Structure 1
Amino acid sequence: MRHNAAIAVESSKSSLVKPMLAKVAPNTSRVSPWLTSLLYPLGHYVVLPFYFSNIEITGQEHLPKDGPVILAPTHRSRWDALMMPYSTGQKVTGRDLRFMVTADEVQGLQGWFIRHLGGFAVDIKHPAISSLRYGVELLLDKQMLVIFPEGGIFQDGEVHPPKPGLARLAMQAELSQPGLGVKIVPMSIRYRPRIPRRGARVKIAIGEPLSVADYAKGGSSKKEARLLTADLEMALKTLDEC
């Protein structure tokens, strides 16, 4: 799975919050208990230990056990799709993950698996209000979302600036229900070598959550969203250097 959707939406504003929540967008995404109970243990105990020589995880104490959460990891490989449930999923937090993915990933058989493992699609080239509305609804339902903020896979060893849509989505959810308590958890995933092969090592660092309410106090101006995005970028860079 290539989870490279980062909601690159430039035009969403606070005036959209109420219309966005007026009607939930049709979406067949859901978490299938039987499928996750089959595939995630397979990845956890068989696939990942077979392929990687060592997986080091730090900062799991920062993961919220309840409430609306956006996990915001760096994106370095398609293996990230398995690293996220391994490091933050049911065995760690007791929570299912809802992945935001690109629209072209939910086609055919692959799409069926993605939708039944909690994935939901957004067209980053032509983002629709309905896609964002579904993301907001998931946060209002106090789900844990996974959004790769850089917007793609980068293997150059650098943290790339997060797309602005993640912060705006988080703020729209917080503003639509004051006191909701949306948290954004920065995460760094690093492979050695950078393009992982069998026997590679992995280091996953989880940082302290950013409280969206702290940025939403002044309303939903672009200034607050830019500040939240900048702070997320700084947190990602700090984690990536550890």
Structure 2
Amino acid sequence: MIVLRLLFRLLFRPLVRGHEHLPRTGPVILASNHLSFIDSVVLQLVTRRQVHFLAKAEYFQGTGLRGRVIRWFFTATGAVPVERGTHRAAQGALETALGVLADGKVFGIYPEGTRSLDGRLYRGRTGVAWLALTAGVPVVPVALTGTDRLQPVGRRLPRPHRVTVTFGPPIHGNGQPKSGPARREVTDEVMGAIQRMSGQETAPDYNSAPLT
């Protein structure tokens, strides 16, 4: 991972701002906008601590050389396999995330749920607030810019383009995780911070683009 970080910085020269807002130890949630498939890789390579993201279980089940390479990559980048597609699977994913936080680690999440195909920032889903309130951990908002040009939708490999990663001050939520208003308030605060850092136009609805 150290070699990958050095190569990434050398080849793509990412601009990283506000890294001091990420606690050096202890559980924390990174909540980011989502513009490209490569977003999770970028966050992993510019962050001093390993970031754990949820990834489709299929990425860990491939066979042959390609399957082994994909499995190695997602394992090396701290991805956590989860099943998708049902309400029970969604709840299981949240509980898996709680386990990551209980271990004192960094958990990464995209409150929009999936990539923005038009560059706008969509309404955040309240899972991020449920995690923060249930685990009692801070949320550090993150704004990515340029990753949609680094690896546009439909492109298999990245191309040279500089990206900017901005970390905002931690947000500490108040209220109970079962309280809908509390979850909505924390989520909107997180999304507002992301918008101010990214400068994206906001969309009033939830994103319904295909899942990554």
1:1-242 alignment runs, 5 A limit: 40-47=1-8, 49-50=10-11, 52=12, 54-89=13-48, 95-108=49-62, 109=68, 110-126=70-86, 127-128=88-89, 129-174=91-136, 182-191=137-146, 194=149, 196=151, 198-212=159-173, 215-216=174-175, 218=176, 220-241=178-199
Contact 1:193 1:201 in 2 (8 A): no
The superposition leaves residues 111-135 of structure 1 with CA deviations (integer Å, 9 ceiling, x where unpaired) of: 3542353211333421434432222
Runs of 4+ in 1 over 6 A off after TM superposition: none
Q: Counterpart amino acid of 1:86?
A: L
Contact 1:193 1:200 in 2 (8 A): no
Greater shift in the superposed pair: 110-119 or 159-168: 110-119
Percent identity, aligned pairs only, is 28
With normalisation by structure 1, the TM-score equals: 0.68
**Secondary structure of 1:145's aligned partner:** strand
**Secondary structure of 1:209's aligned partner:** coil
Structure 1: how far apart are the matches of 2:147 and 2:44? 20
Contact 1:157 1:194 in 2 (8 A): no
Q: Counterpart amino acid of 1:131?
A: A
Residue 204 of structure 1 and its aligned partner are, at CA, apart by: 1.0
Q: Structure 1 residues 151 and 130, CA, compared in 2 at 3 Å: closer, same or farther?
A: closer
Structure 1: how far apart are the matches of 2:3 and 2:135? 34
Contact 1:162 1:229 in 2 (8 A): yes
Greater shift in the superposed pair: 147-156 or 201-210: 147-156
Q: In angstroms, what is the RMSD of aligned CA positions?
A: 2.4
Structure 2: how far apart are the matches of 1:68 and 1:159? 26
Q: Counterpart amino acid of 1:104?
A: E
Q: Structure 1 residues 46 and 233, CA, compared in 2 at 3 Å: closer, same or farther?
A: same
Q: Structure 1 residues 122 and 193, CA, compared in 2 at 3 Å: closer, same or farther?
A: closer
Flag structure 2 segments of 5+ consecutive residues without an equivalent.
Answer: 63-67, 152-157, 201-212
With normalisation by structure 2, the TM-score equals: 0.76
